[in-house]
C-alpha cells in the first residue's frame, strides 16, 4: 500500500471531511465511477489516443520512479520498500522494470509534482 503524499492528502481532505454528500469521482450518468477503464477510454480518445490504449498499468512506472526519488529519513528510498509498496515479492521485478528510471533530479520525503521541478519542454 502506498502512503498518501501530503499534497494529495490536502486535496482529498476537502472531500473526505466535507459535510456534503458530493462524490469525489462522480460518473457522468450519476453515482460513483466504478469502472476506470471507461473513464480512461474517454480521456485517451480526447487526448488523441485510441480506446483501450491507456490503462491503469501505464501509471506504475511513474509511481515507481517517483517513489524511488523519495527519501526515507533522509536517505534514498530503498528498492525493498518500493517493491513491497507495489506488491512485488522481491526487488528483482522493480530492479528489472523500473530502477532504470532513477535519473534523479529531485529528492524529497514525499512524492511531489511541482512545476519548477519538471524538465523544460522541448
Q: What is the pLDDT of residues 55-108, one digit of tens each?
A: 888 888 878 888 888 888 888 888 898 889 888 888 888 888 776 655 555 567
Three-state DSSP class for residue 78 = coil
H-only helix segments in 17-110: 36-46, 60-68, 79-85, 91-97
Of the ranges 15-24, 49-58, 100-109, the best mean pLDDT one: 49-58
**How many residues are present in the chain?**
122
Helix (H) or strand (E) holding 83: helix 79-85
pTM for this prediction: 0.59
**pLDDT at site 106:** 59
Q: For the residues 10-25, what does the mean pLDDT come to? A: 73
Amino acid at each position: 500500500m502506498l502512503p498518501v503524499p501530503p499534497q494529495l492528502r490536502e486535496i482529498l481532505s476537502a472531500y473526505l471531511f466535507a459535510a456534503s454528500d458530493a462524490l469525489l469521482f462522480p460518473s457522468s450518468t450519476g453515482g460513483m465511477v466504478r469502472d476506470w477503464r471507461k473513464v480512461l477510454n474517454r480521456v485517451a480518445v480526447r487526448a488523441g489516443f485510441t480506446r483501450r490504449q491507456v490503462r491503469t498499468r501505464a501509471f506504475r512506472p511513474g509511481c515507481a520512479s517517483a517513489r524511488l526519488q523519495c527519501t526515507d529519513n533522509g536517505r534514498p528510498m530503498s528498492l525493498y520498500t518500493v517493491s513491497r509498496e507495489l506488491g512485488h515479492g522481491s526487488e528483482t521485478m522493480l530492479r528489472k522494470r523500473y530502477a532504470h528510471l532513477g535519473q534523479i533530479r529531485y529528492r524529497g520525503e514525499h512524492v511531489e509534482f511541482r512545476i519548477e521541478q519538471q524538465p523544460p519542454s522541448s
